[in-house]
Chains A and B, each alone.
Chain A
Amino acid sequence: MRIAIVIVASMLASAWAQDIKMPASFDKLAAKAEESVDVTLDSNMLQLAGKFLSGNDADQAKAKKIVGGLKGIYVRSLEFAKEGEYSVADVDAVRAQLQAPAWSRIVGVASKGGSKDEVYFKTSAGARIGGLVIIALEPKELTIVSISGAISVDDLADLGGQFGIPKVELPKGKGKEQ
């Protein structure tokens, strides 16, 4: 069975900017991973990317609209050959950064199979989302997505099935758990 190893080199050597910082342990985890995705795009790179996103392609046109308001997109996704390669401590180091009042956990679900998904929004003025963090855990896979900058719920919804971002509602009040 052919296994595609996707390695996307960071465009910058620097650590993640803005909202959350990736723990140092993730570099060691990446060395153990069978597949690794590493996307680091700050505002300059997003601006550059925006010039190459085609308005003639439906997916790219939607992406262009979304990235227009963003300050950064950061993705680390690691897939391992066997279970138990990452620890709770690796993930708690990210969760700890999301305890600030500006962040609200919108979704927190777990399944018997060992999967856990958490979605956090950073609220900002005007009922817009100021940031988005997803922590997606499976027994052999760990994914952290951090998007900084203004995202409107309509922008997320407009992506529709292509990117599959569902309609979600901003939390009312500052309740962390829904």
Chain B
Amino acid sequence: MATAASVAMPDRADFEGIVREHQSMVFSIAYHFLRDRPAAEELAQDVFLQLHKSLGTLESAEHLTRWLRRVATNRCIDYCRRSKLMPRIGLEQVAEPSSPCRPADPMLSRTLAQLVASLPANWRALVVLKYQEEMETEEIARTLGMPVGTVKSQLSRALEFLREKASRVLGESQ
């Protein structure tokens, strides 16, 4: 038996409002994953198209946000696998600045973003959700349907990997 929704079925203007409210989040997840603006836009639109079909199953505004994050992340992982885009950018293509950068340095940001985009898809997903969406480990686990311990350990390994690769640009000793 279908479960009636707690989120009222919106009219066109309301749904467009939902798109505007969440477009930055969804697009950014896709862009930081794929590092390809046209592909990220198309993927983000796919997510909202799917949302339009599934809106009746969502129970609250919080559920909607969690749903968007989960669907956007999973579509990014699917896209990478189908396109054989893992890694999307080879590490050898990531230009390293010649001297350590300060945080908020555009060059550092771009280098780090490229490094993130070179991670295996599932590590990439965890890093994006943690740092772009500022999600706690338990929330990431619930969103992606993974055990908390697995999220913690995979995130730890991803950060260890990033720290090692970015140590020169961060000016940290290995």
Contacts and interface: CB of A to CB of B under 8 A. Distances in A.
Q: Do chains A and B touch in the complex (CB under 8 A)?
A: yes
Contacts of A79: 147-149
B149 A35 contact: yes
A138 B57 CA distance: 36
Interface string B78-105: 1001000000000000000000000000
B81 A113 contact: no
Interface stretch (A39-47, A101-109, A122-130, A162-170): A162-170
Nearest to B144: A164
A166 B57 CA distance: 28
A57 interface: yes
Nearest to A2: B138
Interface string B127-169: 0000000000010000001011110010011000000000000
Interface string B7-47: 00000000000000000000000000000000000000000
Contact of B149 (A113, A138, A164, A167): A138
Nearest to A114: B153
A160 B78 contact: yes
Given A37-B147, A167-B81, A57 B157 contact: no
A57 B44 CA distance: 19
Given A113-B153, A113-B157, A167-B81, A161 B76 contact: yes
Interface in A76-93: 77, 79
B75 interface: yes
Contacts of A143: 147
Nearest to B153: A138
Given A79-B148, A141-B147, 19 more contacts: A1-B138, A2-B138, A4-B138, A57-B57, A77-B147, A79-B147, A79-B149, A111-B157, A138-B149, A138-B150, A138-B153, A143-B147, A160-B77, A161-B76, A161-B78, A161-B81, A164-B77, A164-B122, A166-B81
Interface of B: 2, 57, 73-78, 81, 121-122, 138, 145, 147-150, 153, 156-157
14 contacts: A2-B138, A35-B148, A56-B2, A57-B57, A77-B147, A111-B157, A113-B153, A113-B156, A115-B153, A138-B149, A141-B147, A143-B147, A161-B73, A161-B76
